[in-house]
Amino acid sequence: MNAPQEYQPQETLTFDNRFTRELPADPEIGNTRRQVTRACYSRVQPTQVAQPQLVAYAREVAEELGLSRAFCESDDFPHIFSGNRVLDSMDPYAMCYGGHQFGNWAGQLGDGRAINLGEIVGPTGKHWVVQLKGAGPTPYSRSADGLAVLRSSIREFLCSEAMYHLGVPTTRALSLVSTGEHVVRDMFYDGNPKPEPGAVVCRVAPSFVRFGNFQIFAARGEIDVLQRLVDYTIRTDFPHLGEPSQATYLAWFEEVCRTTAQMIVHWLRVGFVHGVMNTDNMSILGLTIDYGPYGWLENYDPNWTPNTTDAAGHRYAFGKQPQIAHWNLVQLANAIYPLIEQTEPLEKALSNYVQEFESCWQSTMTHKLGLQAFKPDLDDGLITGLLEILQLAETDMTIFYRRLASLELGAKPVDQLDDATFIQPLFDAYYVPEQLTPETTTRIAAWLRRYHDRVREDGTDNETRRKRMNAVNPKYVLRNYLAQLAIDKAEQGDPSMVHDLLELLRHPYDEQPDKEAYAQKRPDWARQRPGCSMLSCSS
């Protein structure tokens, strides 16, 4: 391990602010709320905070940006990454975009509490947009204050990095800084506001451009601005597609459909529920973006949503995420239609989304079951049956797959094992053992026998199968109750569990024997507790 680089006071960050240099700006400067037309962004300044203190930072992200450990632990760091100190090379701005929220066009939305400091050029030459969330109001804040609380900021910081280490396409998080101030929030919008500790998360991505960035200009008929943004996006983030043209626009949309499908399959693979898949929360790069009322599927329920705002309609439930992503892509296709003026190729790209999703899903489920290759005649029914038995009793999805990997298949002829004995190794995955009635046990055991026969047909030994499964089925995820426990401690001034979880989630597929407590299923006290099972967009 290399010794930490010594931080020098003159250490600087290299910025190359292409977005503000190449795209049209709002002529009005300042953070006052307003409608912004014919502009991709507004220049703004972060709000000063009282006493910024570093809570945690992700060393891997710091390395991508070329930031030394000494700098990240210096007194300068929390001032810079809370917005208190704006460097000369920065060009802070908030983006203008619109979007569909819960299926309805919402008009102008924009970065209401996100301020982009600019684009850092990392050691490898890669550009990274550095964005502060919770750094004060912007022209797009509407009636809100542009601030964020520690509660939601911890959740975003930890989940951004957890998803990255799980192998899920995602934006990243560099740092979490407390502000020394309090922010009033009504967590469930039920008339019970209270002051909470404030915080700022520094988010990092190659681009934070969303579907909604394109929608707003199409909706307003500002087609020339729309074309400038599309051309800029292709040249900076999709240069492999070539110079912008009608054919390039179509190739670009096809790639967005493809990467979006891949992202959704990853969500399903690890049991992630975004919670608010509005079109303004969909990344043009196929990255998971905007960690708000997300949740991790604990007991397998395709109809579960963590978002209380979605409690009635379940629009963004776990099992509906593939269809919603497709719906959102249709809205993007509508937005860029004026540049193409052909319906058929756009429809073909949308059909390719369905095909890409199905292909990725089949491949992913093959890996989750430890098989060599997907065989439709054998595996379509096997997978359908698996998703059915996961719902027969409250089944912890994460634990189930790890226990399934541990089965010693072929040790005894399956017809010599009674049903209860056959499923006994999976017992830890069930929340309510009483739900394992004789009928349920028989159905689960019948599927296990079918799986046993499929593995034998596959010719895969137990050790190989186990390695395959444990490489894609995590042992550790950011369980909702773990995040809440970390929040409870941090709000009392103890960030130790934030650090512990950050370290744990760097290796989600490893056994980590001394961390077994973090792999346990949700305790009963967390079943209905706010923050553990119920979340809102409040932050």
Q: What is the mean pLDDT of the chain?
A: 94
pLDDT given for residue 538 in this prediction: 58
Tell the residue number behind the tokens 């719906």, with chain if given. Answer: 327
Tell me what the mean pLDDT of segment 332-355 comes to: 97
Q: What is the CA radius of gyration of the chain?
A: 24
Tell me what the mean pLDDT of segment 504-530 comes to: 94
CB 536 within 8 A of CB 307: yes
Rounded to 10°, the helix 462-470/343-368 angle is: 130
Tell me what the mean pLDDT of segment 391-405 comes to: 98
Q: How far is CA 525 from CA 154, 226, 510, 522, 530, in A?
A: 21, 50, 27, 8, 11
One-letter identity of residue 13: L
For 501-514, what is each residue's pLDDT tens digit?
999 999 999 999 99
pLDDT given for residue 257 in this prediction: 98
Tell me what the mean pLDDT of segment 407-418 comes to: 75
By 3-state DSSP, what share of the chain in percent is helix, strand and coil, each rounded to 5?
Answer: 45, 15, 40
pLDDT given for residue 2 in this prediction: 42
Torsion angle, alpha carbons of 461, 391, 483, 508, to 10: 10
CB 116 within 8 A of CB 19: yes
For 314-334, what is each residue's pLDDT tens digit?
999 999 999 999 999 999 999
Cα separation of 186 and 286, whole Å?
32
Cα separation of 451 and 34, whole Å?
59
pLDDT given for residue 145 in this prediction: 94
For 420-462, what is each residue's pLDDT tens digit?
988 999 999 999 999 999 999 999 999 999 999 999 999 999 9
CB 204 within 8 A of CB 171: yes
Q: Is the pLDDT of residue 193 over 70?
A: yes
Position 284 confidence tier, pLDDT thresholds 50, 70, 90: very high
**Which residues are within 8 A (CB) of 420 and not within 5 positions of it... i.e. 6 or more apart?**
441, 445
One-letter identity of residue 516: E
Q: Tell me, yes or no, if 280 is annotated catalytic.
A: yes
Cα separation of 104 and 382, whole Å?
38
CB 14 within 8 A of CB 89: yes
| Count of residues making up the chain | 539
Q: How far is CA 356 from CA 254, 264, 302, 352, 372, in A?
A: 11, 11, 21, 6, 20
Write out the two tokens for 188.
């469930």
Give a three-class secondary structure readout of 520-538. Answer: CCCCHHHCCCECCCEECCC
Greatest mean pLDDT among 306-310, 387-391, 453-457: 387-391
Tell me what the mean pLDDT of segment 271-276 comes to: 97
Q: How far is CA 29 from CA 43, 198, 225, 497, 521, in A?
A: 6, 26, 19, 41, 51
According to DSSP, the residues that pair with 121 across neighbouring strands are 127
Write out the two tokens for 302.
């395709």
Position 3 confidence tier, pLDDT thresholds 50, 70, 90: very low
CB 355 within 8 A of CB 439: no
pLDDT given for residue 12 in this prediction: 64
pLDDT given for residue 414 in this prediction: 64
What is the sign of the dihedral through the CA atoms of 323, 325, 329 and 332?
positive
Cα separation of 193 and 176, whole Å?
24
Q: Is the pLDDT of residue 9 over 50?
A: no
Higher pLDDT, 531 or 500: 500
For 89-104, what is each residue's pLDDT tens digit?
999 999 999 999 999 9
Report the SS3 class of residue 456. Answer: helix
Position 1 confidence tier, pLDDT thresholds 50, 70, 90: very low
Write out the two tokens for 509.
């597929």
Could you write out the DSSP letters of every residue in 353-410? Answer: HHHHHHHHHHHHHHHHTT-SS--HHHHHHHHHHHHHHTTTTTBBHHHHHHHHHH--TT
Position 518 confidence tier, pLDDT thresholds 50, 70, 90: very high
Cα separation of 369 and 454, whole Å?
10
Q: Shortest CA distance to 97 belongs to which of 40, 139, 145?
A: 40
Count the Cβ atoms, other than its own, within 10 Å of residue 260.
27
Residue 225: how many CA atoms within 13 Å on its side-chain side?
Answer: 22
**Which residues are within 8 A (CB) of 145 and not within 5 positions of it... i.e. 6 or more apart?**
113, 136, 137, 183
Position 13 confidence tier, pLDDT thresholds 50, 70, 90: confident
One-letter identity of residue 307: N
Catalytic-labelled residue, pool 280, 290, 310, 396: 280
Q: For 502-508, which contacts have Cβ atoms below 8 Å and span 24 or more sequence positions?
A: 502/56, 502/58, 502/158, 502/161, 504/476, 505/158, 505/161, 505/162, 505/165, 505/166, 505/476, 505/477, 505/478, 506/161, 506/165, 507/165, 507/476, 508/162, 508/165, 508/166, 508/474, 508/475, 508/476, 508/477
Q: Is the pLDDT of residue 7 over 60?
A: no
Tell me what the mean pLDDT of segment 158-180 comes to: 98
Tell me what the mean pLDDT of segment 357-368 comes to: 98
Position 532 confidence tier, pLDDT thresholds 50, 70, 90: confident
Q: Is the pLDDT of residue 483 over 80?
A: yes
pLDDT given for residue 397 in this prediction: 97
pLDDT given for residue 189 in this prediction: 62
Residue 428: how many CA atoms within 13 Å on its side-chain side?
Answer: 12
CB 359 within 8 A of CB 261: no
Q: Is the pLDDT of residue 191 over 90?
A: no
